[in-house]
């Protein structure tokens, strides 16, 4: 079980006569991932979703808030003592091409972490080879074919499976999958997503799924939870299927509206939302972060910042169902997602 409370991260940008400018990448994000659970973070570039994933994987520091792994707050530990905890969280990179060392065979790539694991768990060294084959079979590739090969001899989909197998060598509790399918051929994407779902069910591995494509989040498990991030703030949160079917925050609605419609198979939603402007860098922080682009923003949105759960949370017009929260002064359901032609 991993929880994060009030995670903040500030990047210092160089430049300007006034010296460093501070850009908040995360503004107090709360989340928790249970054993075998699935949590998806959705957002555009600059939303802070990748930064969050790296913080959870222990690859980046944060400026505020607390990460708790299995009941142990990480801030209470020294850098060295933290390592074994963060090893339980493994990051799956977006790019399966740079994630594998081109000069090492798959066998070598898996052998090193497995030897380490054998030492940690007091297993004999002979366990290593069998485990490597076992892990590859688990991610759906033929060990006999893959083990002696170099990364360049494998397809993108196979490489991504090897990357997942390598992450599994540490018997992780949580896999952080950052855009894990965006560089995979379309015909193979569902295979990787189904694999993540399968690993959740069979091994009880939690998945933190980071993506800009909401549609893919559906495929790692129907019980998943979805967080919509905008400029470092969670603007909407709830069950994945629920939010996709009934988005309330205008930003979530914009994201869903932007997903291409497969004309011929589906019809566009009746109330698609298009933001008024493109995202710009260095926007002011006063008021709702989405106000300038939001087609429904009012005077109030310009000056006051809505808070997740409190403003427009459960109980108001739109979100009776428990669990769905959003940060918006003017919440309203809109049917924005495509409808199947047959329906």
Partner 1 sequence: MTVIVNPEGAISPEALPAGTTRATLRRNFWRGVWRVLRRKPSRMAGVVIVVLFALMGVAGPLLYPAQLPRDDNALYAPPSLAHPFGTDFEGTDVLALVVTGARYVLLTGLATAVITVALGTLIGLVAGFHRGRWDMLLMRLTDMNLAIPGLPLLLVLSTVWKFESPLEMGLVLGVLGWGGIARAVRSQTLSLRERGFIEAARGLGLPTRHIIGRELLPSMAPYIAMNMLIAVTGAVYAQVGLFFLGVLPFESNNWGVMLNLAVFNGGALTTPAALPYLLAPLIAILLLTLGIVLIVDAMDEIFNPRLREE
Partner 2 sequence: MTADTTAHDIEAPGVRIRDLTVVYKTPAGELPAVRGVDLALAPGTITGVVGESGSGKSTLALSLLNAVQPPGRIAAGSVEIDGLGDVLTLRGEDLRRARGRQVGYVFQAAQNSLNPLKTIGKQLLDLGRSHDVEDLRGLVRDAKDLLARMGMDGARVLDSYQHELSGGMRQRVGIMLALVLNAKVVVLDEPTTALDMITQATILRIIREVHEERALTTLVITHDVGAVAEVADSLAVMYGGRVVEHGPVTEVLGDARHPYTQGLIRAIPRLSGDLSLARALPGRPPTLGTLPTQGCVFRERCERRMDVCETDEPMSVNRDGRTVACHAADRHLTLVKRKELV
Q: Of the candidates 90, 240, 252, 297, which one interacts with partner 1 according to CB under 8 A?
A: 90
- Listed in sequence order, the residues at least 6 apart from 45 whose beta carbon sits closer than 8 Å to its beta carbon are 212
Shortest distance (Å) from residue 246 CB to partner 2: 12
Residue 258, contacted partner among partner 1, partner 2, none, CB below 5-8 A by kind: partner 2
Shortest distance (Å) from residue 2 CB to partner 1: 15
For partner 2, the closer CB: 257 or 324: 257
Q: Of the candidates 29, 69, 100, 210, which one interacts with partner 1 according to CB under 8 A?
A: 100
Among left, alpha and beta (phi > 0; psi -120 to 50; other), residue 309 is: left
Q: Does 127 bind partner 1 (CB under 8 A)?
A: no
Give the largest Cα separation in the chain, rounded: 68
Q: Does 59 bind partner 1 (CB under 8 A)?
A: yes
For partner 2, the closer CB: 90 or 253: 253
Residue 150, contacted partner among partner 2, partner 1, none, CB below 5-8 A by kind: partner 1
Name which of 92, 30, 41, 37 is nearest 222 in CA terms.
37
Q: Are 235 and 228 in contact (CB under 8 A)?
A: yes
The string of DSSP letters for 171-223 reads --SEEEEESTTTTS-HHHHHHHHHHHHHHHHHH--EEEEEES-HHHHGGG-TT
Q: Does 82 bind partner 1 (CB under 8 A)?
A: no
| Distance in angstroms (rounded) separating the CA atoms of residues 304 and 281 | 21
Q: Are 99 and 159 in contact (CB under 8 A)?
A: yes
Residue 314, contacted partner among partner 2, partner 1, none, CB below 5-8 A by kind: none
Residue 214, contacted partner among partner 1, partner 2, none, CB below 5-8 A by kind: partner 2
Kindly report the number of other CB atoms within 10 A of residue 223's CB atom.
12
Residue 259, contacted partner among partner 1, partner 2, none, CB below 5-8 A by kind: partner 2
Q: Using the CB atoms, write b or e for 265-301: b if 16+ within 10 Å.
A: ebebbeebbebeeeeeeeeeeebbbbbbbbebbeeeb
Of 127-135, 164-172, 253-261, 304-312: span binding partner 2 (CB under 8 A): 253-261
| Distance in angstroms (rounded) separating the CA atoms of residues 105 and 111 | 10
Determine the Cα angle at 173 with ends 96 and 75, to 5°.
Answer: 100
Q: Does 61 bind partner 1 (CB under 8 A)?
A: no
Q: Of the candidates 48, 58, 143, 275, which one interacts with partner 2 according to CB under 8 A?
A: 275
| Distance in angstroms (rounded) separating the CA atoms of residues 341 and 166 | 42
Within residues 143-182, the interface with partner 1 by CB under 8 A covers 143-150, 152, 154-155, 157-158, 161, 163, 166-167, 169-170
| Distance in angstroms (rounded) separating the CA atoms of residues 31 and 224 | 13
For partner 2, the closer CB: 149 or 218: 218
The contact set with partner 1 (CB under 8 A) reads: 57-59, 83-84, 86-87, 90-91, 93, 95, 98-105, 107-108, 112-113, 116, 134, 137-138, 140-150, 152, 154-155, 157-158, 161, 163, 166-167, 169-170, 188, 190-191, 194-195, 198
The contact set with partner 2 (CB under 8 A) reads: 44-45, 155-158, 185-194, 212-216, 218-219, 222, 244, 254-266, 274-275, 278-279, 281, 337-341, 343
């Amino acid at each position: 079980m991993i929880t994060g409370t009030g995670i903040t991260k500030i990047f210092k940008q160089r430049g300007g006569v006034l010296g460093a400018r501070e850009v908040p990448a995360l503004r107090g994000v709360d989340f928790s991932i249970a054993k075998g659970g699935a949590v998806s973070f959705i957002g555009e570039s600059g939303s802070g979703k990748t930064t969050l994933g790296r913080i959870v994987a222990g690859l980046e520091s944060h400026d505020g808030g607390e990460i708790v792994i299995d009941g142990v707050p990480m801030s209470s530990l020294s850098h060295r003592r933290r390592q074994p905890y963060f090893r339980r969280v493994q990051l799956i990179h977006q790019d399966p091409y740079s994630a594998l060392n081109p000069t090492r065979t798959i066998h070598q790539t898996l052998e090193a972490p497995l030897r380490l694991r054998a030492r940690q768990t007091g297993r004999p060294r002979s366990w290593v080879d069998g485990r490597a084959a076992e892990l590859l079979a688990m991610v759906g590739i033929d060990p006999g074919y893959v083990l002696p090969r170099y990364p360049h001899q494998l397809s993108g989909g196979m490489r991504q499976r090897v990357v997942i197998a390598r992450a599994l060598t540490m018997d992780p509790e949580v896999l952080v999958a950052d855009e894990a399918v965006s560089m995979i051929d379309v015909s193979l994407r569902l295979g990787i997503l189904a694999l993540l779902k399968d690993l959740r069910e069979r091994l009880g591995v939690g998945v933190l799924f980071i993506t800009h494509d909401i549609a893919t989040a559906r495929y790692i498990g129907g019980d998943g939870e979805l967080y919509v991030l905008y400029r470092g703030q969670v603007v909407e949160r709830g069950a994945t299927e629920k939010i996709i079917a009934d988005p309330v925050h205008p930003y979530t609605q914009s994201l869903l509206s932007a997903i291409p419609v497969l004309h011929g198979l589906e019809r566009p939603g009746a109330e698609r939302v298009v933001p008024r402007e493109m995202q710009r860098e260095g926007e002011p922080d006063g008021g709702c972060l989405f106000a300038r682009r939001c087609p429904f923003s009012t005077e109030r949105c310009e000056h006051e910042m809505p808070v997740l759960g409190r403003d427009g949370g459960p109980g108001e017009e739109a979100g009776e169902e428990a669990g769905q929260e959003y940060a918006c002064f003017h919440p309203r359901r809109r049917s924005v997602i495509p409808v199947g032609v047959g329906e």
